[in-house]
Amino acid sequence: MRELKVAVLGAGTVGSQVVRLLTENADDFAQRAGARLKICGIAVRDVNKPRGSAVDPALLTADAEAIIDDADIVIELMGGIEPARTYILRAMAGGASVVTGNKALLAEHGPEIYEAAAAANVDLYYEAAVGGAMPVVYGLRESLAGDNVRSILGIVNGTTNYILDEMAEKGLDYETALRSAQELGYAEADPTADVDGFDAAAKCAILASLAFHTRVHINDVHTHGIRQVTAADIAAAREAGYVLKLVASAKHRSEGIELYVGPSLVPTHHPLSTVHGAYNAVVIEGEASDRLMFYGPGAGGNPTATAVLSDVVAAANKKVYGGHAPRELIYGDVNILPASRARSRFQIRMVVPDEVGVLCAVTGVFARNNVSISAVVQERHGSSSAEASALTVTTHEAAQGDVEKTIKELSKGIEVPIDGSQRVVSEAQAATLPVRIENFIRVEEA
């Protein structure tokens, strides 16, 4: 049986499991791939660092270039932009197929890497870049090649889903839930990429590129994180019949593509509302296929390693029997809508003085900015002697830019008539009362 040399770049949580499975199940993988897969080296920064029994110390090397140049297939699991980008381009130029789980690199430099693969006539696989063990990349690249995808909604970051789930189920505040995620290994010591939405935005860019056959950069995705989410937001969501999730959204509208990552209210009847803990899920709407859902563990050594190894088998199979992985399919530039033109329903929470005319003035601000109101819930705010109301306003579908203008105007205060009438004729007859915006959150109804 033919032998193919495999170079592994990185021996962390995922890399070590890839090595273990390739070694323990060598005979099975040989049958599936049509060739024996021999690890020719494992590139790491520190060859003296303990790696556990799964990794043969004799395979460790700090000379990544040497094993890249000797390999038929290169598995890149280092993460980050450099030196991963340089190593991948070197591997392709040398004729090796590449398997990577590097979503940040693909979202930032995808076009360059796709073009390098095409120029060198080699394959690029990246199932592990989105959703761990979920075969969502394969689904979009191959299974849905005969359909037109209209929208993608996904929970694609297990760390933030775990944090929000703990806040909702146990009543924890954000900081306590984050510490719990770090203690369990779901969150890094520096959780910025996860909690600020950048990890999800990179995945959203990859999925949108595949679904809509255009090049989407991570900077095209309007991104918000979860640092500002409070227990009050969770409670308001529950009262209104929603669950608060960090959602990656990509929608193909008549005027262009709308891309968003941020805290969103998901109806309790929607499939994404039932995704708990560190699990991921992606719901795809196609013209012909209707609604499809992918669900599973979105991270972790073993689940992600299975996605990597499925790509390795596919790459090896093509090396042995011929053919290529699906190439990048680009129809041309598609208009990517700015955040201001994104349309959705929104929920805005604010604190206002409990006085006559306030509600009328607030709704007037929404009307002036072309934002239609669906529902208003008014409750007593706090327990202090000062009279104040908490208003939760849910809108009909509106442009985000109009909602932001509404919030900006409200933040300056509202004018109410001193005499209790419904009209403000002049400044002398009005009082300007403060409005404190607590939060505004997108509502996903799809």
State the catalytic residues.
Answer: 203
Distance CA 422, CA 71 (A): 78
Query: How many residues are there in the chain?
Result: 446
Look up residue 315 and give its amino acid: A
Find out whether 421 and 242 touch, Cβ atoms under 8 Å. Answer: no
What are phi and psi for residue 222, nearest 5 degrees? -70, 120
Q: Which among 42, 121, 52 has a CA at the least distance from the CA of 74?
A: 42
- Please classify residue 286 by burial: count the beta carbons closer than 10 Å to its beta carbon, then call 0-12 exposed, 13-18 middle and 19+ buried: middle
Find out whether 185 and 228 touch, Cβ atoms under 8 Å. Answer: no
Does the annotation list 76 as a binding residue?
no
Q: Which among 321, 311, 319 has a CA at the least distance from the CA of 122?
A: 319
Q: Which among 349, 361, 369 has a CA at the least distance from the CA of 414?
A: 361
Find out whether 351 and 438 touch, Cβ atoms under 8 Å. Answer: yes
Residue 103 in tokens: 């979503």
Name the strand (E) or helix (H) holding 347: strand 343-353
Find out whether 403 and 371 touch, Cβ atoms under 8 Å. Answer: yes
Give the bridge partners for 60, in sequence order. Answer: 42
Give the 3-state secondary structure of 404-433: HHHHHHHHCCEEEECCCCCCCCCHHHEEEE
Look up residue 328 and give its amino acid: E
Give the bridge partners for 378, in sequence order. Answer: 391
Q: Which among 143, 164, 144, 166 has a CA at the least distance from the CA of 155?
A: 164
Does the annotation list 315 as a binding residue?
no
Distance CA 413, CA 410 (A): 5
Find out whether 130 and 103 touch, Cβ atoms under 8 Å. Answer: yes
Does the annotation list 13 as a binding residue?
yes
Compute CA 270 distance to the chain's CA centroid, rounded to the nearest angstrom: 18
Does the annotation list 11 as a binding residue?
yes
Does the annotation list 16 as a binding residue?
yes
Does the annotation list 296 as a binding residue?
no
Does the annotation list 319 as a binding residue?
no
Does the annotation list 188 as a binding residue?
yes
Distance CA 15, CA 309 (A): 11
Which residues carry a binding-site annotation for NADPH?
A: 103
Which residues carry a binding-site annotation for L-homoserine?
A: 188
Which residues carry a binding-site annotation for NADP(+)?
A: 9-16
Which residues carry a binding-site annotation?
A: 9-16, 103, 188
